[in-house]
Amino acid sequence: EMKCKPTDTPGNVDIPALRERYRQERDKRLRPEGQKQYAKVREEFSDTYTADPHMPVVPRDPVSEDLDVAILGAGWSGILAAYHLRNAGVCSFRNIDHAGDWGGVWYWNRYPGIQCDNDAYCYLPLLEETGFMPSRKYADGYEIYDYFRLIADKYSLGENALFHTLISSLRWDERIRRWRIGSNRGDDIRARFVIVANGLLNIPKLPNIPGIHDYKGRMFHTSRWEYDYTGGTYRNPVLDKLADKKVAIIGTGATALQAIPYLGRYARHVYVLQRTPSTVDQRHNAPTDPDWAQGLEPGWQKERMANFHRAAMEGRLLPGESDLVCDFWTEISRNMSAELEAEGWPRLTPEEYATRREAMDYRVLERMRRRVDEIVRDRETAAALKPWYRFLCKRPLSNDDYYDTFNRPNVSLIDVSATRGVERMTGKGFVANGVEHQVDCMMFASGFEVSSDRDRRWGIDVFEGRNGVSIYDHWRHGYKTLHGLMTHGFPNQFFIGYYQGGLNATTTEQCSRQAYHAAYIVKEALSRGMAAVEPSLEAQDAYVRHIRETAIDIADFQAECTPSYYNNESEKVTDEKGDRKYRNFLGEGYGPGWDAFQRLLQEWRDNGDLAGLVLEPDQR
């Protein structure tokens, strides 16, 4: 493989001046109402939430049954949970999902241009196990969607799944020591164990724009793309029905960026309503080189993920290590390695390293801003498209067509930062900077409820453990778990996602290791004849203390960032001790790192005594 080279970044950046500019740009966007600037989609736009434009909902009879494991979700965490249960020899399980098929976000999101922004050779799990090879570095959405089906077929996970089923209640029934699951299909499922695999991007988010309910034109969220209106299909997004339409798209995040070049190509006119610009690098989306794929040695995927994790999450590669993923996620670490190598790898304290990394951060962002000037011809538009914040204040992006789209005569960028978002909507369109623009369609690329309160975000109205305690109250002021996976008072329940565990740069790998650990506990409990397992209060307290004592504090960094779901829209919440903190959408990550967390779990399993779990035998 060709060695990945450092990028060419301007050396003459004025850091104090930039820091000040970043603050001004942040302040311009701060909104005192924080999360409350968004509508409660499940209540105010329930059609948007429940409608499925991709697949008809087929009536079915309610299911009433006893089951070993219910897996709530059929996205990556859900399918990986099924896979690991299957491998552990647990057979009685079902995935249940609101969507009409496997895929989670990759089921719902079918907007034109959808691709994964992460290296597919890391992001797509189980590549060595399934023998599948993605066709290119950043996979198209439908390739990922199809890959779900491949996994489900290969491991026979599909026959049990219940799709188009929305969970409405989840209650621990002490009498039968099972979870009772109710749904919008009238089901009554009595599951011994529940794996909550409901994902992070499951509920679309809509801004509370004044007048949003008055608009009479077509309106949809990008995760519910209406091809019957735009023309084209998921696999062939020729949006020919937009030829005589004026459309507006709200947002310029990961989703909008991919869709906008298609809108520019096909619509009569496109208004892009931007509040905060993204960082947009070159994509370099090369097809998979067959010789490279042929030459891969067993274990290659784990090695690649570990390499990516060091570069993207730990912030440094090992001396002499090459950057295998070689993209915008790893650029700063790669450039740091090149600098240090040129100096013969001097010994730096963590503080010295952080200072130098910060300088590289400013240089890389300056490179991004210059990239805008090189491509976008209109000076005012170019200026508005430049990002002013540090790397990882928002999700970094890459796209080869985005900036050039603003050179088209039928595309207008409208900067709505002065009003901290779209000012107003009317019956016919929207108002920006005092001017009404009439449009046939408003498309919302406004994201998902990533860091809002759980009762908003989970969409399960009743979720009660022992003694009727609601999970929403139980975790009101912060997580309390053992290993980020189980919590006291909620026996036989596992949570996959971002809670209190090790973080990996590859989110699917993180879900997979959590699912593996959950499958181990389920198998052990079943084979030991246990009706219920849950963490003891002491074990949970000890773990929570450990994770807090070893935590890495990023509050200062979050405070300097422009608002986004990365810092809970710059809104602080109160923790158990009454301290005010920004919520982190990654939960409370394990400070000593991913490898240390994996060792902790491995040793715990190797001991074989399920330490810290209270086991209740099945007496019947």
Site residues for ligand NDP per CB under 6 A? 29, 115-118, 201, 207, 209, 250-256, 273, 275-276, 395, 416, 421-422, 445-448, 564-565
Q: How far is the CB of 238 from ligand NDP (least distance, A)?
A: 21
Short-list 460, 425, 532, CA closest to 196: 460
Smaller CB separation from ligand NDP, 100 or 141:
141
Smaller CB separation from ligand NDP, 81 or 273:
273
Q: From CA 522, how far away is CA 156, in angstroms rounded? A: 19
CA distances from 250 to 222, 313, 524 (A): 10, 30, 49
Q: How far is the CB of 114 from ligand NDP (least distance, A)?
A: 7
The sign of the CA dihedral 389, 392, 395, 400 is positive
Whether 96 and 279 have beta carbons less than 8 Å apart is answered as no
Q: How far is the CB of 562 from ligand NDP (least distance, A)?
A: 7
> Which tokens sit at 275?
């509040």
Helix (H) or strand (E) holding 581: strand 580-582
DSSP three-state, residue 28: helix
Q: From CA 412, how far away is CA 408, in angstroms rounded? A: 8
Residue entry with tokens 């023309």: 231
> Which tokens sit at 450?
């990533």
Q: How far is the CB of 117 from ligand NDP (least distance, A)?
A: 3
Q: How far is the CB of 105 from ligand NDP (least distance, A)?
A: 7
Q: How far is the CB of 201 from ligand NDP (least distance, A)?
A: 5
Q: How far is the CB of 359 from ligand NDP (least distance, A)?
A: 25
Which backbone phi and psi does 415 adopt, to 5 degrees?
Answer: -85, 115
Smaller CB separation from ligand NDP, 26 or 367:
26
Helix (H) or strand (E) holding 331: helix 331-342
Q: How far is the CB of 59 from ligand NDP (least distance, A)?
A: 32
DSSP three-state, residue 178: strand
Q: From CA 563, how far away is CA 571, in angstroms rounded? A: 8
Smaller CB separation from ligand NDP, 36 or 466:
36
Smaller CB separation from ligand NDP, 252 or 452:
252
Smaller CB separation from ligand NDP, 88 or 273:
273
Smaller CB separation from ligand NDP, 81 or 201:
201
Q: From CA 454, how far away is CA 164, in angstroms rounded? A: 22
Q: From CA 404, how far away is CA 545, in angstroms rounded? A: 51
Q: From CA 92, how far away is CA 68, in angstroms rounded? A: 5
Smaller CB separation from ligand NDP, 335 or 567:
567
